Amino acid sequence: MSLSLSNHPNLPSYLNPADLGPWATFLEQVDRVLPHLGKLSVWADTLRRPKRSLIVDVPIHMDDGTVRHFEGYRVQHNVSRGPGKGGVRYHPGVTLSEVMALAGWMTVKNAAVNLPYGGAKGGIRVDPKQLSMSELERLTRRYTSEIGLIIGPERDIPAPDVNTNERIMAWMMDTYSMNVGATSTGVVTGKPITLGGSLGRRDATGRGCFVVAREAMQRLGMEMKGARVAVQGFGNVGNAAARVFQENGASIVAIQDVAGSIYKADGIDPHALTAFLARREGTLLDFPGVERISNDKFWDVDCEVMLPAALENQITADNAGRIRAKLVVEGANGPTTPQAEDILLARGAIVLPDVLANAGGVTVSYFEWVQNASSFFWTEADINARLDRALSDAFRAIWDLSQERKLALRTAAFVIACTRVLEARELRGLYP
């Protein structure tokens, strides 16, 4: 078959929908929460069916004069509580199923933290590291024009996710603005500060991981000082989380990224590692003073906190039994399969679910959007304090419900969030 599957022939595609993939995980999580939703569960199909899924063809001229087509998506899972909100991912593994699942988790996340948003997500199946800067710009601009049909500051607001950043948000904002004929800063968040971005946004997701972990550790009687933390993924989320944990007394004993895994019993300095990687002197494996370990061994590392902050489906039934941490903090979206979560919970570990643990990014994205709408900007201290309050409050409500009803934290977060979403659904009624 010579369709556009040719780049990655084994991946599911809308041309070949053989596999439900990550969307199946989301559906299973919805099924787990339904028994706890009382009468609202009659609206369950609202959660099982994304409201709108747009699949776009993204053709661009390559620098060598050829034309290549890429598969792009934007899914608005639910907009009952406000405009769609969620990141855009550039990755060779992006599928419609994955974007649907990520959009569903955004619906739950935004409602869990009580942000006035629905859930959305986007992505392009591409390895951006294979593109030149000008190819990346053309790809971003064409994709933004294609999804321009359904995005906008009051309709759906994209943001960075895996392999997308401030630079790409600036191109998206410019393309959308050129198409509508007016500068529209509020169409995306995670922008550079000079284009209406918010102070504190870059580190917000990682900082949020720390805030909810701190709250959990207080309740579990765990000390932050000296706590050993293993971090998978050293990008936007993992890097910031590692720095904030270390600044608050924890020790980062192991880090894994796409290049491999490193270990140091008395702690890796994430600031020094960040500076080392920025100097492009090598990969994480070349960082001086650390021991290289296999990616498999990473899961055996002795630690109190395990922070998966890379991709989904990393903690599976195969490795969950080996993880020694008391606390698993899901910096990534969907890093733990439902079967793996059962194994972790059965041995008494606590899993801080993605819809709470990584909600710091979208919370400060919300602050950015509010600042754009009012053209009035806040200080970083103000933003960090508001972020801390928003996540501590969300944590408390989820923790208290989990204690009261003897539920896993993920189920409790889903109960609170899905109740909000389905109440909004019911109150709005069906149109027409």
Ligand X SMILES: NC(=O)c1ccc[n+]([C@@H]2O[C@H](COP(=O)([O-])OP(=O)(O)OC[C@H]3O[C@@H](n4cnc5c(N)ncnc54)[C@H](O)[C@@H]3O)[C@@H](O)[C@H]2O)c1
Q: Which residues are catalytic?
A: 121
In the window 186-215, what residues touch ligand X (CB under 6 A)?
205
Q: Does the annotation list 39 as a binding residue? A: no
Could you give the CA distance from residue 204 to residue 216 in angstroms, rounded to a whole number?
18
- Is residue 236 a contact point for ligand X (CB under 6 A)? yes
Which one of the spans 63-71, 122-130, 150-158, 233-241 is the region binding ligand X (CB under 6 A)? 233-241
Which one of the spans 8-16, 18-26, 45-53, 154-162 is the region binding ligand X (CB under 6 A)? 154-162
**Contact letters (x/-) for ligand X, 321-350, by CB under 6 A?**
----------xxx-----------------
| Class of residue 140 by CB neighbours under 10 A (exposed 0-12, middle 13-18, buried 19+) | buried
Q: Does the annotation list 175 as a binding residue? A: no
- Is residue 232 a contact point for ligand X (CB under 6 A)? yes
Report the greatest alpha carbon distance in the chain. 65
120 strand-pairing partners: 76
Could you give the CA distance from residue 339 to residue 152 in angstroms, rounded to a whole number?
38
Q: Which residues lie closer than 8 Å to 38 by C-beta, 6 or more apart?
A: none
**Using CB under 6 A, which of 310, 329, 343, 412 touches ligand X?**
310
Q: Which is nearer to ligand X, 255 or 422 (CB)?
A: 255
In the window 348-367, what residues touch ligand X (CB under 6 A)?
358, 361
- Is residue 299 a contact point for ligand X (CB under 6 A)? no
Which one of the spans 43-51, 176-184, 309-317, 374-382 is the region binding ligand X (CB under 6 A)? 309-317
72 strand-pairing partners: 56, 124
**Using CB under 6 A, which of 97, 110, 256, 336 touches ligand X?**
256
| Class of residue 314 by CB neighbours under 10 A (exposed 0-12, middle 13-18, buried 19+) | buried
Q: Which residues lie closer than 8 Å to 84 by C-beta, 6 or more apart?
A: 76, 77, 103, 106, 117, 118, 119, 120, 151, 155, 156, 157
Q: Which is nearer to ligand X, 78 or 205 (CB)?
A: 205
Query: Backbone phi, then psi, for 198, in 5-degree steps?
Result: -105, 140
Q: Does the annotation list 406 as a binding residue? A: no
Q: Which residues lie closer than 8 Å to 186 by C-beta, 6 or more apart?
A: 153, 157, 196, 369, 372, 373
Best CA proximity match to 126, nearest among 144, 109, 140 = 140
Please report how close the Cβ of residue 122 comes to ligand X at its closest, in angstroms: 12
Q: Which is nearer to ligand X, 40 or 233 (CB)?
A: 233
Please report how close the Cβ of residue 236 comes to ligand X at its closest, in angstroms: 4
Best CA proximity match to 153, nearest among 108, 105, 102, 188 = 188
Q: Does the annotation list 97 as a binding residue? A: no
Q: Which is nearer to ligand X, 209 or 250 (CB)?
A: 209
Which one of the spans 57-65, 234-242, 378-386, 417-425 is the region binding ligand X (CB under 6 A)? 234-242
- Is residue 309 a contact point for ligand X (CB under 6 A)? yes
Best CA proximity match to 6, nearest among 167, 135, 125 = 125
**Using CB under 6 A, which of 169, 229, 268, 311 touches ligand X?**
311
Count Cα neighbours of 252 within 13 Å in the Cβ-side half-sphere: 29
Q: Which residues bind ligand X (CB under 6 A)?
A: 160-163, 205, 232-238, 256-258, 309-311, 331-333, 358, 361
